[in-house]
Chain A
């Protein structure tokens, strides 16, 4: 009906005599294919199409190495890297270093998340807290965490506490910012509702504020997890005696590019799996959101 009248009105603008032809076209439209194949659109989606880029890269790497076009000192062949990885696992070196790195990152993540949520709550729920903390955090944000490392080394030495602290500080910022924004963004309507049903302050926080801020917190957690890995890479280059970064540094000293490569792959896998874990958590915890419905 809309297409019908629309066509009449459109064609009436230029040539009233063409109205009938336009009508026929507009009535034929519903029979056209449901999915519009735009001339300027990106084209149709193909299952597992995203594997194309990685696959081509692996192909170039493999053929380049096999044909001797890639110097193994610059980039070892895929099979060399796989063999080295197997060797490292046999030695137990990979697992041990991975465990140390994961523990380090996890510890920093835990402290950063706890501090970020706590300060976001204080600053989001009370005006005074906001005046106290929010501007401080904004100032702190403008100083890159990595620039703080010399100072933190002076304060805490070069041992484990320094490493965990740097990771925790990196995690703190995204957690705080996202959680705080979500807290402040909770709809005033729900606050009114809480008042009319007589919720106490504590129940208001537990039943309205925290679940309302959860989507923001989880977004912050995804950024925070990535920030934790990034900070881990940096602190493990600094005087570490264990961990994936230590393994990489040691390999650099002995020019073992295959070990370096294995370390990088492990970092990539860590980042991908932890991000996937947070996304899984999101799907579970946010089942109430339409966008996460199965």
Chain B
């Protein structure tokens, strides 16, 4: 039970146009909440798609171990407009008691009353909660979230943070949350990793949350450091602590990275 849920070694992904992963290593432990930060084009989405198994068109190599039971929450709620809310939650599931489970999942996101609604009748935040219920009803070992709150207004986003935190504590999946919001990453995650040029540029633990609020100074220091890693250091030049092993240059492409057809070592 102690082995990591996700194990990535030397992952290389190459597209004709899109982002690139360049020998990425990453472990995610069971039940661990990891936030993934990075500038646009740093490979965040490529990594997420590789983990979700959606990168059929990619060429690459490396080792990728991921659990069978994984769910994805996309940036758009991505509900099928022609299915009612409950049918969206249980999409693809079958067997006895499925609707009961779906209904319970809707209760968890406080939308049990909307089970028979059409998706268009819900607000953006409600739609995203349904998407969360659809993910959690599958009891995933790994929950992949691709900027799930990016399209929501600020107040809804804060409520969604609390909901996601509470539900991930209850269901305890490993979570990989892709975000561009440093505060969100610090508030939700146990660990924040920064992607730069297709590799991990930093892997930092967030201040431990015991009873009571996290130490404000620690949080501020972490935020400054993360912002610096993301290239937003102008305002923090004086306070930013340069991380020891940061690599901002893109490493040269080695011959073994060339296209190897279908990702042969993607086990899972």
Contact between chains at B120 and A192 (CB < 8 Å): no
Distance in angstroms from A290 CB to nearest chain B CB is 5
CA–CA, A287 to B82, complex, Å?
8
Contact of A288 among B91, B118, B134 (CB under 8 A): B118
CB distance B54 to A190 under 8 Å? no
CB distance from A218 to the nearest CB of B (A): 13
- Identify the stretch in B73-81, B175-183, B204-212 within 8 Å (CB) of chain A at 4 or more residues: B73-81
Q: B82 contacts A212, CB within 8 Å?
A: yes
Contact indicator B82/A211 (Cβ below 8 Å)? yes
Contact status B82-A214, CB under 8 Å: yes
Question: Which residues of B (43-81) have their CB < 8 Å from a CB of A?
Answer: 52-54, 70-72, 74, 76, 78, 80-81
Is A196 a contact of B120 with CB atoms below 8 Å?
A: no
Does B255 interact with chain A (Cβ within 8 Å)? no
Q: A189-B76, A212-B82, A289-B81 are in contact. Are A195 and B120 (CB under 8 A)?
A: no
Q: Is the CB of B71 within 8 A of A288?
A: no
* Complex Cα–Cα for A278 and B18 (A): 45
Chain A neighbourhood of B81, CB < 8 A:
288-289
Q: Which residues of chain B have C-beta atoms less than 8 A from A203's C-beta? A: 92
Determine whether the beta carbon of A192 is less than 8 Å from that of B54.
Answer: yes
Give the most central of A193, A197, A208: most B CB within 10 Å: A193
Q: B161 to chain A: which residues have CB within 8 Å?
A: none
Query: B91's contact among A192, A199, A214, A287, by CB below 8 Å, is which?
Result: A199
If A196-B71, A214-B82, A288-B120 touch, whether A207 touches B91 (CB-CB below 8 Å) is: yes
B83–A207 contact, CB under 8 A? yes
A122–B26 Cα distance when bound, in Å, is: 43
Tell me if A207 and B80 are in contact (CB < 8 A): yes
User: Quick check: B76 and A287 within 8 Å, CB to CB?
Assistant: no
Q: How far is the CA of A69 from the CA of B76 in the complex (A)?
A: 68
Return the chain B residue nearest A293 by Cβ.
Answer: B120
Residues in A neighbouring B84, C-beta threshold 8 A: 288
Whether the Cβ atoms of A190 and B78 lie closer than 8 Å is yes
- In the complex, A195 Cα to B78 Cα: how many Å? 13
The residues of B that contact A289 with a CB separation of less than 8 Å are 81, 120
Interface size on A, as a range, is 20 to 34
* Interface secondary structure of B, over-half rule: loop
Are the C-beta atoms of A193 and B83 separated by less than 8 Å? no
- Asked if B82 and A195 sit within 8 Å, CB to CB, the answer is no
CB nearest to B134 among chain A residues? A197
Minimal Cβ-Cβ distance residue in A for B68: A198
Tell me, yes or no, whether A145 is within 8 Å of chain B by CB. no
CB contact under 8 A between A287 and B118, given known A195-B54, A207-B83, A211-B82: yes
How near does chain A come to B119, taking the closest CB pair, in angstroms?
8
Chain B residue contacts of A190, Cβ below 8 A: 78, 80
A288-B120, A289-B120 as given contacts; A197 in contact with B91, CB under 8 Å: yes
Closest to A286 in B: B82
Q: With A208-B80, A288-B82, A289-B81 known to touch, is A194 a contact of B54 (CB < 8 Å)?
A: no
A194 touching B92 by the CB < 8 A rule? Answer: yes
176-202 of chain A: CB within 8 A of chain B = 189-190, 192-199
Considering the chains assembled together, what is the distance between the CA atoms of A198 and B53 in angstroms?
11
B138 cross-chain contacts in A, Cβ below 8 A: 197
Let me know if B80 and A189 touch, CB within 8 A: no
Q: A192-B54, A288-B118, A289-B120 are in contact. Are A199 and B92 (CB under 8 A)?
A: yes
Considering the complex, give the chain B residue whose CB is closest to the CB of A203.
Answer: B92
Q: Which residues of B contact A189 (CB under 8 A)?
A: 74, 76, 78
Per the bound structure, the CA–CA distance linking A52 and B70 in Å amounts to 62
Closest to B52 in A: A196
A227-B134 Cα distance, complex, nearest whole Å: 43
Give the distance in Å from the alpha carbon of A287 to the alpha carbon of B120 in the complex. 10
Q: Mark B8-52, 1 if CB is under 8 A from A, else 0.
A: 000000000000000000000000000000000000000000001
With both beta carbons as reference points, the residue of chain B lying nearest to A192 in the complex is identified as B54
B34 to chain A, nearest CB (A): 19
B137 CB, nearest partner CB in chain A, Å: 10
Residue in B72, B76, B82, B118 whose beta carbon sits within 8 Å of that of A196 in the complex: B72
Please name all residues of chain A whose beta carbon is closer than 8 Å to the beta carbon of B119 when the two chains form the complex: 288
- Rounded to whole angstroms, the CA-CA distance of A195 and B119 in the bound complex is 20
B92 touching A198 by the CB < 8 A rule? yes
What are the residues of chain A within 8 A of B70 when measuring CB–CB? 196
Q: What are the residues of chain A within 8 A of B80 when measuring CB–CB?
A: 190, 193, 207-208, 211
The CA of A199 and the CA of B80, in the complex, are separated in Å by: 13
A-B contact pairs, 16 of them (CB 8 A): A192-B74, A192-B78, A193-B74, A193-B91, A196-B52, A196-B54, A196-B71, A197-B134, A197-B138, A211-B80, A211-B83, A214-B82, A288-B81, A288-B83, A288-B119, A289-B120
Residues of chain B having any CB pair with chain A under 8 Å: 52-54, 70-72, 74, 76, 78, 80-84, 91-92, 118-120, 134, 138
Taking beta carbons and an 8 Å cutoff, which residues of A are in contact with B? 189-190, 192-199, 203, 207-208, 211-212, 214, 287-290, 293
Known: A192-B54, A288-B119, A293-B120. 14 other contacts (CB 8 A): A190-B80, A193-B78, A193-B80, A193-B91, A196-B52, A196-B72, A197-B134, A197-B138, A211-B80, A212-B82, A214-B82, A288-B120, A289-B81, A290-B120
